[in-house]
Amino acid sequence: MNYQAKTPHLDDLIFDNRFTRELPADPEITNNRRQVHGASYSRVLPTPVKQPQTVAYSHEVAELLGLTREICESADFTQVFAGNRQLAGMDCYATCYGGHQFGNWAGQLGDGRAINLGEVLNSNDEHLTLQLKGSGATPYSRNADGLAVLRSSVREFLCSEAMHHLGVPTTRALSLILTGEEVIRDMFYNGNPKAEPGAVVCRVAPSFTRFGSFQILAARKDINLLKKLVDFTIFTDFPHLGEPSVEVYLAWFEEVCQRTAEMIVHWQRVGFVHGVMNTDNMSILGLTIDYGPYGWLENYDPNWTPNTTDSAERRYRFGSQPQIAFWNLGQLANAIYPLIEQVEPLQQAINVYQQTFEQGWQLMVAAKLGLNVYDPEIDNEFNTELLDLLQLVETDMTIFYRKLALLVMDSELSNEVLMLPLLDAYYVPDQLTEAYIVRLGNWLRHYIKRVQSTGVSTAERQKTMNAANPKYVLRNYLAQLAIDKAEQGDFSMVNELLEILRHPYDEQPGKEDFALKRPDWARQRAGCSMLSCSS
């Protein structure tokens, strides 16, 4: 790994803490749970842990920070990113925000188990906020302990990096560190708590500001601080928009809508289901944030949610993610309305979400199918038929689209020969009835003619499809296998998955087992199918 502008020691990291410098702090300094008014954050230190041990770290994120491999593998790195030692220049704090949870206003939430260490200024003059998740209680922890367990931390660490390499806007993860202490959790809230190994993840992003950061101020009618936070956000993260004004506020909101739409298109492209799309889990930068009970679609099912808490209503199911993001943007619009006091321009701005999503969705579908253009008059019905086919029998979404690139472009072939490349995608071969095979064969012939009508060569089609359809994703059962080993002190699979997921679109000879569909034993196993918010 060739690190640029190497930092000889961790203490040489340069911190430029704009958030705490420019925005008002909670005047109370004791770390007790409370409602925090008139402030954007509360200063609080991570809780020291007994025996930290580094499980894994991301070379790419280290490089962003200018950290060498030697630093990342040092005992001091472990101590710092477990929260045991503060570097010169760090200004540790937890932020105040609110949010709608499952559609209901929840009031103050805040960083209940996340503590920001400060903003590193790297060699490219980029500000990167370092945040420890699972580092102890804060004033926003309510009745919780502010800690995290290894299983959820492995999932957060791996998914942050996997999503980045898939091309999905996301927060990043620098490190995953065991605390050497146990944390009591009731995984499914069913009266069966048990001790689990504790862990801390260092998350990295330009900003962790959320929709809920503005909502809490509007709900409290603290319009002065609302304006200050919006102005600060524009100055620091949207400086290209210019000096804050009503027009700039609208342009800013429009860009947030656009970025959010682009993120959701990527989620739908790779089959990612966030699981908890509360407004406090929506990034103002259009980044995927807060990896809780997420999951990847394995058999294609738009009604699937990985979140046990949402199993009845399925508010955050895969197929509803675009609509939920739109609803969440509406709540953000309500929050910033006092700065604009005009409904129509806000509505026009939020319409940008719908326009951006629809355009992005069409381009995404075209890429997944290897088409050089999406023609709604032809392709809407064509794509709907495909999605219906994927649901009629248990079909692995990732494998189906990847293998579709291998289709022999000869419409004279029999149905059975045409579908040969796709057979690995089916979980229950007995479901492939004669009627289904005929219907699929008709769709494949239609697809062949559609591709041929564009003049796209086979090589071009396969290149386009393989760039849009990953071969390797963080399948739920793979993450669980890595967790099982890590809980026994074997971190090899965490690091192996980290490396494989750095190249999700490549063939990676010898790693094909990591691209296989979910095994039968993982259908209902905890951690492989659905998860709770417990971590």
Identify whether 280 is a catalytic site residue. Answer: yes
Q: Which residue has the tokens 């967790």?
A: 483
Give the Cβ contact number of residue 327 at 10 Å. Answer: 15
- The answer to whether 500 and 508 are in contact (CB under 8 A) is yes
Structure tokens at 159: 């998914």
Burial class (CB in 10 A: 0-12, 13-18, 19+), 196: buried
Could you tell me the sign of the dihedral formed by the alpha carbons of 421, 427, 433, 438, in that order?
negative
Residue type, 416: E
What Å distances lie between residue 122 and 39, 98, 237, 393, CA to CA?
28, 31, 15, 50
What Å distances lie between residue 246 and 215, 249, 337, CA to CA?
18, 5, 10
For residues 24 and 13, give the distance between their C-alpha atoms in angstroms, rounded to a whole number: 25
Q: Write out the DSSP string of 318-371.
A: GGGHHHHHHHHHHHHHHHHHHHH--HHHHHHHHHHHHHHHHHHHHHHHHHHHT-
For residues 452 and 113, give the distance between their C-alpha atoms in angstroms, rounded to a whole number: 54
Catalytic one of 26, 111, 231, 280:
280
Determine which helix (DSSP H) or strand (DSSP E) holds 480, and give its type and residue range: helix 476-487
Three-class secondary structure of residue 377 per DSSP:
helix
CA dihedral 434, 435, 438, 440 (to 10 degrees): -110
For residues 456 and 324, give the distance between their C-alpha atoms in angstroms, rounded to a whole number: 36
- The answer to whether 332 and 256 are in contact (CB under 8 A) is yes
Q: Which residue has the tokens 């069409």?
A: 362
Give the Cβ contact number of residue 359 at 10 Å. Answer: 14
Contact residues for 156 (Cβ-Cβ < 8 A; gap 6+): 133, 173, 201, 203, 291
- The answer to whether 273 and 371 are in contact (CB under 8 A) is no
For residues 480 and 473, give the distance between their C-alpha atoms in angstroms, rounded to a whole number: 13
What Å distances lie between residue 423 and 133, 396, 467, CA to CA?
42, 10, 21
- So which residues are the catalytic ones? 280
